[in-house]
Structure 1
Amino acid sequence: MINIESIDGYRYDLTGMGIHPLKLIIDSLSPRHESEIVEGRDGHVDLETTYDGRTLSASFYIESVDGYDYNQLRNQVYRLFNGKTYFYVIDVKEPKKRWKVKTASKFTVDKLSRIVGAFDLALMSTSPYAESIGTTLDELTFDKEKWQVGQGLVLENPVYVHQLPTFKIFNAGDVTVDPCQMPLRITFKGESTNLQIKNLTTGDTWAYTGITGVNDTITLDGIRSLINGVSVFGQTNKKVLSIAPGWNDFEITGASEFLISFDFRFYYY
């Protein structure tokens, strides 16, 4: 079974619409290898491997109320899966992970009887990864309807809001959260002079050569560096902080009283 959600969070009642999901197939990662041939040397030099976006496929059948309603239902299918509009597809066997997709190619609803039709969708995601429905600022407990078994959660109950200069941040996913590619929002509020936020696990350091007061808020939103909503990118070392899979050790220098929070999703193969 499959659930479909709009980008703004509306979950379609497919069965109520007369659209019945049958199966969802998720293809493997598609590696893209970059290599170089060296003259006079056998083989090639392996430079880097990255991933293409992900491909998926889904099967449905439709059942209208009567023969007159069939074409309207078919048109509703074409409207929903129009090829331009992104939506989330969710396998009900893994209900707390989702894929952001759109229809990859044309398809036909085959009419099987006066009121029944069937169709297959080829889907494409620009990202090779599934993402968690919940974020790190949602409570990481299974009774909150945000998380499931198999998402890499640990019993230590990770914390994502801190006040001390050394702390740990946990990434339950398979993939490093890179703010150049994925949403990552780090919020620091408090007094600082020449602030540095260091991820000792990845070796990343973000630094600001300025002063903040007790009521000032620094926001690292993707690749942007803001203070009270105004860019201060030119006063930073122009670096970003990434979050590796597993536990990440952080250290803050140049700050006195402060509160820092990390808001991101987990990403899965």
Structure 2
Amino acid sequence: MVKLFIDFNNGLGEQSLDSLLPQFEVLSFLPEAPKINRETISIPRRHGLILPQHPRDVTYGERKIDVEIYLNARIHENFYMYRHQLYALLVKPFPYYISSDLLPNRRFLVTCDGNFSISKEKEKTYNDFSVEFTNITGMAESKYTTKTAQNLNGENWNHGMNLRSDDNLDYYFKNKKRFSVFNAGDVQINPLDHDYNVILKAAGKNITLINHTNGEKLTIEQEIKKTQEVSFLKQYTIINNKPIKTSGRLPSLEIGWNEFEVQNTNDFNIQFDTRLYYL
């Protein structure tokens, strides 16, 4: 039997559908292919379409996930009650996460707006049907972040998640001016769209963090002390919950290896704590 897990972000964590409503059995879990939003232009006397965007600027649109479910109510009265219980469970005004054991350790942020129905055929007390979810980000994300070692030992990561044979990837660096950060996902990670956190403790003025792989950099335009913890919230750089003056923004993580450099400090530690994103 296929498992469907639901996480409403209410502190209860993941719960399987069959533990919440045992009368329902999941038959399949089918995300659509990723959908690219691409800018194109046509020019007179030029063949085909021109692609003005850099591939890094291409975005992904929302997509559908169809989950096929079977209901066996056994008696007629229960059919209507169970159907109402499923509607109430899945159709919510807010987004939540779903996942499946078919794609372990990945979850999808979805909405369910009730674009499905469970029909009852005459004397039958059973039926199968499809529930339509909308994956609003257009991609899956890892259930764990880079704080959790990327190996198969703890069952937190799986084959198909682009793991390297070297399971000792570093995401924490101390006084190392140049270092490499590996993005094992299928998508560039940026602070505006993703759960991408960096914690920096450093002493110095005009400290600069550069990703030489894509040329992006951030400079903290004030002096900071090692006792202060610098963190990042989307486009903001923060100390003690207060934005500080910077130029640039926290560098994105390209797919694969990212070559970083820290400038204007010899006393620092930095940790990259991010989820990974998959198509």
Q: TM-score, normalised by structure 2?
A: 0.87
Which residue, 226, 240, 247 being the options, matches 1:228?
A: 240
Specify the code of the residue in structure 1 equivalent to 2:39: E
Specify the code of the residue in structure 1 equivalent to 2:251: L
Cα deviation code 1:41-63 (max 9, x no counterpart):
55443223533212221110123
Specify the code of the residue in structure 2 equivalent to 1:51: Y
Change in CA separation of 1:67 and 1:111 when aligned onto 2, cut-off 3 Å:
same
| 8 A contact 1:4–1:87 mirrored in 2 | no
| 8 A contact 1:101–1:124 mirrored in 2 | yes
Q: Which runs of 5+ in 1 are unaligned?
A: none
1:160 aligns with 2:171: yes
Offset of residue 260 of structure 1: 0.6
Cα deviation code 1:141-165 (max 9, x no counterpart):
3232321111111122211111022
Q: Pairwise CA RMSD of aligned residues?
A: 2.0
Change in CA separation of 1:253 and 1:260 when aligned onto 2, cut-off 3 Å:
same
Which residue, 79, 87, 99 being the options, matches 2:88?
A: 79
In structure 2, what is the Cα distance between the partners aligned to 1:192 and 1:7?
A: 43
Offset of residue 115 of structure 1: 3.8
Change in CA separation of 1:206 and 1:24 when aligned onto 2, cut-off 3 Å:
same
1:14 aligns with 2:17: yes
In structure 1, what is the Cα distance between the partners aligned to 2:49 and 2:74?
A: 61
Cross-structure match for 1:102? 111
| 8 A contact 1:3–1:89 mirrored in 2 | yes
Which residue, 88, 98, 113 being the options, matches 2:97?
A: 88
In structure 2, what is the Cα distance between the partners aligned to 1:59 and 1:120?
A: 4
Q: Is 84-93 or 191-200 further displaced after alignment? A: 84-93
| 8 A contact 1:29–1:52 mirrored in 2 | yes
| 8 A contact 2:105–2:157 mirrored in 1 | yes
**Alignment length, in residue pairs?**
267
1:60 aligns with 2:102: no
| 8 A contact 1:111–1:118 mirrored in 2 | no
1:177 aligns with 2:189: yes
Q: TM-score, normalised by structure 1?
A: 0.91
Cα deviation code 1:123-179 (max 9, x no counterpart):
211212111111001232323232111111112221111102221111111111011
In structure 1, what is the Cα distance between the partners aligned to 2:48 and 2:73?
A: 59
Cross-structure match for 2:36? 31
Q: Is 46-55 or 129-138 further displaced after alignment? A: 46-55
Change in CA separation of 1:50 and 1:212 when aligned onto 2, cut-off 3 Å:
closer
Change in CA separation of 1:44 and 1:154 when aligned onto 2, cut-off 3 Å:
closer
Cross-structure match for 1:3? 4
Offset of residue 66 of structure 1: 4.1
Identity %: 22
In structure 2, what is the Cα distance between the partners aligned to 1:143 and 1:136?
A: 15
Cα deviation code 1:104-134 (max 9, x no counterpart):
5521112255542332112211212111111
In structure 2, what is the Cα distance between the partners aligned to 1:62 and 1:72?
A: 12
Offset of residue 37 of structure 1: 3.1
Cross-structure match for 2:228? 216
| 8 A contact 1:183–1:222 mirrored in 2 | no
Offset of residue 230 of structure 1: 0.9
Q: Is 182-191 or 35-44 further displaced after alignment? A: 35-44
In structure 2, what is the Cα distance between the partners aligned to 1:190 and 1:45?
A: 46
1:134 aligns with 2:150: no
| 8 A contact 1:183–1:221 mirrored in 2 | no
1:262 aligns with 2:272: yes
Specify the code of the residue in structure 2 equivalent to 1:2: K
